A and B are shown apart, each in its own frame.
Chain A
Amino acid sequence: MPTPRLRRIVLLVTASLLTLAAGCAKKNTPPAAAPTASPSAPAAKILRVGNGTEPQDLDPHVVTGEPEHKVITAILEGLVTYGPDGGIAPGVAERWETSPDGRTYTFHLRENARWSNGEPLTSQDFVSSFKRELTPALASEYAYKLFVLTGAEDFNTGKLTDFSRVGVHAPDAHTLVFTLRERAPFLLESMLHYAWFPVHIPTVVKFGGLDRKGTAWTRPANFVGNGPFNLSEWKPNQKITVTRSPTYWNRAHVKLDGIEFYAIDNEDTEERLFRTGGLDYAYSLPLGKIEPYRREHPDTYRQVPFYGVYFYRVNVTKKPLDDKRVRRALALAIDRESLIKNVLRDAGQAPAYNVTPPSPAFTSTARIAGDLAEAKRLLAEAGYPDGRGMPSVEILFNTLDSHRVIAEAIQQMWKTRLGVNATIQNQEWKVYLDTTQTLNYQISRAGWIGDYEDPHTFLELWVTGGGNNQTGWSSADYDRLLRSALSAPSESERMAIYQKLEAILADEVPVIPIYFYSRIYAISPKVKNWVTNPLDNRGWQWVDLEK
């Protein structure tokens, strides 16, 4: 009969309760020991950084994300890298020359560049790596970043099968020559991206072949890299550990013994871990923590300008937004200063009246100019005096509270300042992307972070038919000017063209810029040499940790 068995169950349960209680009691005896004995008490100089979502992979020709970028720049290095000041510095290439027409780059690779298995790193490694990345069968999402090389796009789309006709050649083991299809004044900037990094071809081949994604070559036991650190551990959804490389050419200048990249995709979780000393760097701070940190922990709080813009796309194919006067009126009626101060906690964002964030090289002189009176006048001119007769417009955003509060604030501004009714609509991320791409919206929230530090990365978005245009807007003048920018004889003339492009955008308003981003994060005062640049990247080899 089951009754004695049942009693045994009850006994068992009681016993486990006691064990648990004993476990807890034992736990209680040495208080305050736990937080410092966090997963990785730094015995050596180990930097612990919060790194956002779990990386898709660590193959630079496969991945597309920002967390991946942070890890990959530690274990692989391209021809150029970040210098101690955060600018461009020689990496595997110790120097380079550019031809007068700007279409040929000759890189001289350093003799002491090595793979982590000790093999020398040669220019042929770069040629083979680029070939792999451009191979159509690999389906590399960022292959287009190499399209600036002659023939690269044709090779990637299968129109060209002979790779020797692609603009990358290795005349000898330490010389690499790029031939560009057009001038690319931002080439070096863009080469800081991992799409331009080499991979160790024999290792990739050994674990499944050149045109296979996600093979075991990126596992710690197999990985061969050439960066300042080596991949030593990868616990999915937990952390990736890299340790100082004994073969890196500049190893004498590497300060840290290792870095732990924690995959933490929740800001609150990350902040709590940082607060208890489990991290030296929290990738981001929740909005609600900005004020407390500024007030109570100013030594750890950082806000720096970030090379990105938050904006609204406008679908210019639909009434009433096909009228640029309406678009301008809506753009003018947004009180950006008030939005930043009251909604965004004034955390270093700057009001945006044009598309490209200001930088030393380029600050737009064109802006969506005018005051509220001008906005009202434009709206009346378009046939909607004080908003009368104007159909309601819908603001679409992906489901996230921070987008909602901005949309609500703007909805309110349009209502009270222009008399224009707007509704707001949120959609789950991929649905929102689909709705935006198929122009099934009226006004859609968007953000863009520069791929590299040059206005081109913002202004090329609005070219006719461009994959990222997504507004239905098109201007032959704009397209022509954009094309001419690359062949401009000098940098000042190129920047002058970008000014003209900004002027067209300010006049036509296919997008409504709202604010320029800032990066907000927390960092331990023990972290040294933490430089920042507009895209908030740095070379891990320079960072130090005070013990």
Chain B
Amino acid sequence: MFRFIARRLLETIPVLFIIVTATFFMVRFVPGGPFDSEKATTPEIRANLEAYYGLNLPLHRQYTNYLKAIVLHGDLGRSTKYASRTVNEIIADKLPASLQLGGLSLVIALVLGLTAGVVASVKRNTWVDYGASSFAMIGICVPTFVLGPLLVLVFAIHLGWFNASGWYGWQDRILPSLTLGIVYAAAIARLTRGGMLEVLNQDYIRTARAKGASEARIIFRHALRGGLLPVVSYLGPAIAGILTGSFVIETIFQIPGLGREFVNSAFNRDYTLVLGTVILYAVLIVALNLVVDIVQVWLNPKLKFE
């Protein structure tokens, strides 16, 4: 197993290198630059600006300088948009909010999703199943930009239980986490139901039933382990996405998270911030995929570390 992990970690190095390189050149080849704005400045001032940020150097030099700074100092550079902050600072500053939002949403997603999925599969073709499946379908179909404002309308504007937006007290965490959580819960519920149904028809479940095992024991001890497999493979990339923030949720609820930086940096052509957030996202995806693979082997004896 350790060999497996070590090999996978080594494999991530070329993967990250390719991602950084591709992103570096892709953002440069998009039309428009960080200093283009509606009010044009003079060519001389523009040249000064480019010199200040080292953008006047040949592209390959900029690229090697950038790689050197990352590898040697872990320095992701200076944001061109937010003059007073480095990319490292911005990430350090914004990631906690995204992690909090993501963590809470994940808990909500797992609790709601797993419960609904398991219940639906066990009570297949009853009103419970239909109810849970409709919830899942609605959750998948209603986009966050509809669900979020809808929750605000009901709970903040009409009932007055929460603030309409902001990220100050603990009560400000609830509506955004719920919005993001429900969307993922819906997907998890569907995957759990599907996975469970497949497992519940297998011979070993029938054997367990024949031996007189209680329904609870059958579900939790025998079925869930296999039934969760599709959920686990889904969770890897989903967690990476959920933890790096959601542009829509962060905009609706005015949350100082990384998701907005991720999207806005591309609009602003803030090259270093684009790269910084992409690298972070890539690292998270690679790491979580590794975790998923390990968990899958652990859940499914048919798989081996190879």
Residues in chain A within 8 A of chain B (CB atoms) = 2-3, 6-7, 10, 13, 16-17, 20, 23-24, 27-28, 31-32, 34-35, 38-39, 54, 56-59, 62-64, 136-144, 156-157, 213-216, 218-219, 235-238, 262-266, 268-269, 272-273, 275-276, 278, 428-431, 433-435, 437, 446-448, 467-468, 470
**In the complex, which residues 244-287 of chain B have their Cβ closer than 8 Å to any Cβ of chain A?**
251-256, 260, 267-269
Q: How far is the CA of A238 from the CA of B163 in the complex (A)?
A: 14
Complex-state Cα separation, A431 to B251, whole angstroms: 23
Bound together, the chains give a CA A218 to CA B84 distance in angstroms of: 8
Q: Do residues B44 and A156 form an inter-chain contact, with CB atoms below 8 A?
A: yes
Instruction: Kindly list chain A residues whose C-beta atoms are within 8 Å of the C-beta of B81.
Output: 56
Chosen A-B contacts, 21 in total, with CB atoms closer than 8 Å, are A3-B221, A6-B225, A10-B220, A27-B174, A31-B160, A32-B161, A34-B163, A34-B171, A35-B156, A54-B82, A57-B83, A62-B84, A137-B48, A141-B49, A156-B44, A213-B52, A237-B254, A238-B166, A263-B254, A269-B251, A275-B164
- In the bound complex, do residue B164 and residue A272 qualify as a contact, i.e. CB atoms below 8 Å apart? yes
Residue among B42, B82, B171 making CB contact with A467, cutoff 8 Å = B42
Q: How distant is A140 from chain B, measured CB to nearest CB, in Å?
A: 7
Say if the beta carbon of B215 comes within 8 Å of chain A. no
- Asked if B111 is at the interface (CB within 8 A of a chain A CB), the reply is yes
Chain A residues with Cβ below 8 Å from B174 are: 23-24, 27
Q: How far is the CB of A4 from chain B (nearest CB, A)?
A: 9
Whole-angstrom distance from the CB of A309 to the nearest CB of chain B? Answer: 13
| A144-B256 CB under 8 A given contacts A265-B251, A268-B149 | no
Q: Is the CB of A13 within 8 A of B35?
A: no
CB neighbours (8 Å) of B220 from chain A are 3, 6-7, 10
Which residues of chain A are within 8 angstroms of B107 by Cβ–Cβ distance?
A: 16, 20
From residue B303, how far is it (CB to closest CB) to chain A in Å?
14
B51 at the interface (CB under 8 A from A): yes
B240 at the interface (CB under 8 A from A): no
In the complex, what residue of chain A is closest to B268 when comparing beta carbons?
Answer: A430
Q: Which of A17, A20, A27, A236 contacts B256 (CB 8 A)?
A: A236
Contacts of B52 in A (CB 8 A): 137-139, 213
Contact status of A34 and B162, CB under 8 A, knowing A6-B225, A237-B260, A272-B156: yes
**Residues on B facing A (Cβ under 8 Å):** 30-33, 35-45, 48-49, 51-52, 78, 81-85, 90, 93-94, 107-108, 110-111, 114-115, 149, 152-153, 156-157, 159-169, 171, 174, 220-221, 224-225, 251-256, 260, 267-269, 298-299
A344 to chain B, nearest CB (A): 20
Q: Kindly report which residue of chain A lies nearest to residue B40, judged by CB atoms.
A: A467
Given contacts A235-B256, A266-B251, A278-B163, contact A272 B149 (CB under 8 A): yes
Chain B proximity of A87: nearest CB distance (Å):
24
**Closest beta carbon of chain A to B112's beta carbon, Å:** 8
Instruction: Evaluate contact between B83 and A213: CB separation under 8 angstroms.
Output: yes
- Bound-complex Cα distance A539 to B175 (A): 37
Residues of B within 8 A of A138 (CB): 48, 52
B84 and A269 within 8 A (CB): no
Inter-chain contact B40/A6, CB cutoff 8 Å: no
A215 near B84: Cβ-Cβ < 8 Å: yes
Tell me whether A31 and B161 are in contact in the complex, defined as CB-CB below 8 angstroms, given that A141-B45, A429-B267 are known contacts: yes
Are B51 and A214 within 8 A (Cβ)? no
Nearest opposing residue in chain A for B159, CB measure: A31
- Within the complex, what minimum Cβ distance (angstroms) separates A153 from chain B? 8
In the docked arrangement, what's the CA distance between A218 and B85, Å? 11
Q: Which residue in B82, B93, B253, B299 is a CB contact (below 8 Å) of A269?
A: B253
Give the chain B neighbours of A238 by CB distance below 8 A: 166-168, 254, 256
- In Å, the complex CA distance between A216 and B222 comes to 59
Apart from A141-B41, A434-B32, what are 7 other A-B pairs with CB-CB below 8 Å?
A57-B82, A214-B85, A236-B85, A264-B165, A272-B152, A272-B156, A272-B165
Q: Cβ of B163 and Cβ of A39 under 8 Å apart?
A: yes
Min CB distance, A362 to chain B, in Å?
21
Residue of B nearest to A19 (CB): B107
A137 to chain B: which residues have CB within 8 Å? 48, 52
Decide yes or no: A276 and B83 within 8 Å by CB, A3-B221, A13-B111, A429-B267 being known contacts: no
B155 CB, nearest partner CB in chain A, Å: 9
Distance (Å) between the CB of B208 and the closest chain A CB?
Answer: 12
A71 to chain B, nearest CB (A): 13
A-chain residues with CB within 8 Å of residue B267 when the two chains form the complex: 428-430
Chain B positions within 8 Å of A140 at CB level: 45
Collect the chain B residues with CB atoms within 8 Å of residue A10's CB. Answer: 220, 224
Minimal beta-carbon separation of A197 from chain B (angstroms): 16
Q: How far is the CB of A210 from chain B (nearest CB, A)?
A: 13
Q: Within the assembled complex, what's the spacing in Å between the Cα atoms of A9 and B273?
A: 38
Q: CA separation between A142 and B48, bound complex, in Å? A: 12
When A and B form their complex, which 8 residue pairs have the shortest distance between CB atoms, in order from nearest? A430-B32, A467-B40, A237-B256, A214-B83, A139-B48, A214-B84, A272-B164, A434-B31
The reply to whether B41 and A273 contact each other, CB–CB distance below 8 Å, is no
